[in-house]
Chains A and B, each alone.
Chain A
Amino acid sequence: EAGVTQFPSHSVIEKGQTVTLRCDPISGHDNLYWYRRVMGKEIKFLLHFVKESKQDESGMPNNRFLAERTGGTYSTLKVQPAELEDSGVYFCASSQGTGSSYEQYFGPGTRLTVT
């Protein structure tokens, strides 16, 4: 079974540009999460999809961030325009829709550098 995949693994962009990160969850996982780790800080929750609906987007930092999950499969996270403080590692995770385990499986992350 394939794990959570993320693309690209690294991205270097200039301030003011746009970047789109992609996450493919484990097949059949209804729940998809985005997290971010800024250098030297803890991993922070951004948002949670259940299928194609946003269940919780309380962690989204501002309206420069737009997340979508069309058809309840893969998800994209767009940052437009990027600022220096957006640099960090963006993790995606997925979990099954039922059961009480709440276990989230993480992808390898996308390292975003804004210069």
Chain B
Amino acid sequence: AQSVTQLGSHVSVSEGALVLLRCNYSSSVPPYLFWYVQYPNQGLQLLLKYTSAATLVKGINGFEAEFKKSETSFHLTKPSAHMSDAAEYFCAVSSAGRRALTFGSGTRLQVQP
């Protein structure tokens, strides 16, 4: 079985500050890991993915995440927050044997001016 835990349902940062959204996963097989973002009234958009290549993954809009097997983590970071980053972010896991995504509960990011 697979599971994802996202610490913090709401995160608030100031514009220009570091963004850190936490994700820990559990998987009995090598995982594939994803971060999705949902802007208001839109579908989920893929930010980045880890599929067993480089452990530091760079995505769109300046986001990146690092796969740390020893910590079972895949935290999302961005050096400098923009107002346009305000959205809900989801971490998800799947595997080669099961393509269905298992999602975390989501983290709503608020960016203060």
Contact = CB atoms under 8 A, between A and B. Distances in A.
Nearest to B103: A43
Interface in A31-84: 31, 33, 35, 41-45, 48, 55-56, 58-59
Contact of B43 (A33, A45, A106): A106
A78 to B, nearest CB: 20
Contacts of B44: 43, 91, 93, 106
A33 B49 contact: no
A43 B90 CA distance: 9
Interface in B26-85: 32, 34, 36, 41-46, 49, 51
Contacts of A59: 100
Name the interface size band of chain B. 20 to 34
Contacts of B99: 31, 33, 48, 55-56, 95, 102, 104
The number of chain A residues touching the other chain, given as a range, is: 20 to 34
Q: Which of B41, B44, B94, B98 has the most CB of A within 10 A?
A: B44
Contacts of B94: 102
A88 interface: no
Interface string A87-112: 00001010100001111111111000
Contacts of A107: 43
A94 to B, nearest CB: 11
Contact of B49 (A4, A42, A103, A105): A103
A42 B105 contact: yes
Interface in A1-22: 3-4
B90 to A, nearest CB: 7
B104 A42 contact: yes
Contacts of B41: 108
A100 B51 contact: yes
B101 interface: yes
A70 to B, nearest CB: 21
B51 A35 contact: no
Interface of A: 3-4, 31, 33, 35, 41-45, 48, 55-56, 58-59, 91, 93, 95, 100-109
